[in-house]
Amino acid sequence: MSPFHHMRRRRLKPTIALLIAFIIFILNNLQTIQAKTTSTKMAAAATTTTNPQSCTNPAKFDFLNDLRSKYPHQPVFLQAVEEMALSIEPLFNDPVNGKFYKKAFLYLTEPERTISFHVPWMDDQGAQHVNRGWRVEFSSALGPYKGGLRFHPTVDDGILKFLGFEQIFKNSLTGLPLGGGKGGSDFDPKGKSEGEIRRFCESFMTELCRYIDASTDVPAGDIGVGGREIGYMYGTYKRLSNKHGEGVLTGKSPLFGGIHLRPEATGFGTVYMAQHAIEDKLKRSLEGTRCAVSGSGNVAQYASKMLIQLGAKVVCMSDSNGVLVFEEGMTTSDWEQIIVAKTVERARLSSLETRVSGKYIPNHSPWTLPDLNINFAFPCATQNEIDGKAANMLIEKGVMGVFEGANLPVTTEGQEALRAHRDVLYIPGKAANAGGVGVSGLEMSQNASRTYWKREKVDAMLKEMMAGIYQQMKDNAGEDGTLEEGCNRAGFLKVAQALKE
């Protein structure tokens, strides 16, 4: 017998013991693993079939069934698609062009390109982190892809597809040669230091820069991405490309190629749109009316400012933790305190109660306060903030109009409630908040022509643009249609015609 035989037997015994222990562990935990897997599948199925924002009537548009089967995990995207389809349904039934419109619509529901990448960055303690980044380039039928970048923990490819899909038709309404796109990351800027945000933005742009160009794809800001973040990313782009003056990002400071009024444009434009609708349909002005504004970011800030300038009473602003209520209307001093808190101190609204005339109510939104009397609603926070219950509460209060400063802030059920009361003005974000991307388009023109426009000229062009969008809505709504239907039809028809030609 070999002298190594006993050595091999001694080595084998612990190996067999480990193998037996591993098998016992697997058998003991198999039931738990199976239970967890079953539970996860059931939860996923429940989310797919019962999510209140998913398409509510699959039988309504059977030509969308393939899309539904491919993306059941993207309910907000499917919600945006069906909301659009409902408005343009008469086009699908057109005896001459109906088949073409269906094909064009289906074509536009798939992005031309989706780019995903990881974004490594280091915190202040030297620890390494990795987030996900995306750019969804949806449609270039009218021009280069155009749309913002969103940094928020809820961001995923489904959210960006919903935003990019909406962007196609919003950009169409501006009259500028802009396609639709959207991008961002699941990075959460809240609680991060200046240095951490800078390092993340630099890493994000290091990857994104290879896909953007003034004639290909021009990102801008969105939730979590303001002038500071755009500045960090533009600085990184300059270092990597050795180019200055390129219109590859909009929302820049006017000191290095930006345009006046860009921070204000979305909020101001939303109010300009509301002003047109109220004066035309209700034969009155905004002066003296009680207006509820949700959110406290860029759009909410400047919508509130313009409402105050026009003599309206802004009765609230909000954040994700609660509502700051101004029963007698927000003052200019109140507004200035909010701006300092949000743009300088990066503070929550709850910290302002001793500095403003309003009262802070935690764990509520403007749409869940039954005793808050308002005439007009300006949802400017995020998607799906007004559900069916909130919409019905607004209607019972006698609200005369809802103007979307955010993208798709009203759920499917909320939209159904508003459509059932056609006397309530309802203008979707594609039209109401198009002023932001409109002025971004003007910034691109300013960069291309190496010129610089004064604030007054930009404001005049913004007002003219919003008036033009309102007229498109009226013209396409016809005598029996709503402004919502007119908005969606006008946006779609222009893109469909471009595809045809």
Rounded Cα distance between 257 and 244, Å, is 9
Which residues lie below 8 Å from residue 257, measured CB to CB, with a gap of 6+?
A: 244, 245, 247, 443, 446, 447
Strand order across the beta sheet in which 180-185 lies:
113-122, 128-139, 180-185, 145-151, 217-220
- Burial class of residue 186, CB neighbours in 10 A (0-12, 13-18, 19+): middle
At 363, phi and psi to the nearest 5?
60, 35
For residue 331, what are its two tokens?
């003052």
Which residue matches tokens 């064009």? 104
Helix (H, G, I), strand (E, B) or coil at 210: helix
Residue whose C-alpha is closest to residue 426's, from 487, 483, 490? 483
For residue 151, what are its two tokens?
């940094």
Contact call for residues 158 and 71 (beta carbons, < 8 A): yes
Between helix 455-477 and helix 483-500 the angle, nearest 10°, is 100
Rounded Cα distance between 467 and 107, Å, is 30
Contact call for residues 53 and 386 (beta carbons, < 8 A): no
Contact call for residues 382 and 223 (beta carbons, < 8 A): yes
For residue 311, what are its two tokens?
């003599």
Residue whose C-alpha is closest to residue 398's, from 292, 271, 314? 292
Strands 180-185 and 128-139: antiparallel
Which residue matches tokens 């949000």? 342
Contact call for residues 104 and 185 (beta carbons, < 8 A): no
Helix (H, G, I), strand (E, B) or coil at 93: coil
Helix (H, G, I), strand (E, B) or coil at 451: coil
Q: Which residues are catalytic?
A: 182
Contact call for residues 495 and 169 (beta carbons, < 8 A): yes
Strands 145-151 and 180-185: parallel
